[in-house]
Amino acid sequence: MKLLSQLIAVLALALSLQVSADEPREASIDWQSSADISTLIEFKLDAVNGEITYGPNFAYSDKALLDNFSEIYLVRAIDHQGQDQYVLYITAQYNDKDWRSYKNAKLKNGAQPIKLVSLSTDMNVCPEASCRYEERMAIPLSMINFFDSANMGMNLTIDGNSSYNIALPSSYFRAILDAAPEEELYDNLPAQDQSI
């Protein structure tokens, strides 16, 4: 009987490890906690482009988002002169009868339009009446929009043939800010040839 109990416990542990291995870490964090979000931030120091910080995939924060988007993440890049650039990358992935053709982005329920750049589109298999569509977009953010979002969150609406509202919490932007490395990291980069 004791052996059976131990066997069941081992099987339960193996099953729980398998389930957690299949589920991305983004699916289990508290999206209102910048500390939780910061555990998933990736940082790269590139000799050519400078410092690049990648936020975790926010699409996993909500099942409804994940049904329509496979990726929503923020990138912060700081070049060697210290200039910041912020870009929100979005990949819409959905089953529908036609393209949603996202063309516009607005903050604060349409009061403030911002630039939306279409990067690519792809249509996958159409088994029945609907097809699987994918639209990749980039939304460059001004420093003001980024810092406003770090204080109040971002209420973003994207639209085209359909519209969708995405509400990113301020904790997401604060976690990106908190991930900024110390200045001495720049000292370790190889010198660039300035004669070009």
pLDDT score recorded for residue 125: 67
Residue extents of the structural domains in the chain: 28-182
Each residue's pLDDT tens digit in the chain (196 positions)?
A: 454 344 344 334 444 433 344 567 878 889 999 999 999 999 888 888 888 999 999 999 999 999 999 999 999 998 888 888 999 999 999 888 888 999 999 998 556 789 999 999 887 767 677 788 899 999 999 999 999 999 999 999 999 999 999 999 999 999 998 886 655 455 555 555 544 4
Q: Are 164 and 101 in contact (CB under 8 A)?
A: no
pLDDT score recorded for residue 191: 54
Strand partners, 155: 167
Strand partners, 17: none
Distances (CA, A) of 118 to 29, 33, 66, 89, 121: 30, 31, 20, 10, 8
Question: In 2-137, which residue ranges form alpha helices assigned H by DSSP?
Answer: 2-22, 34-38, 63-68
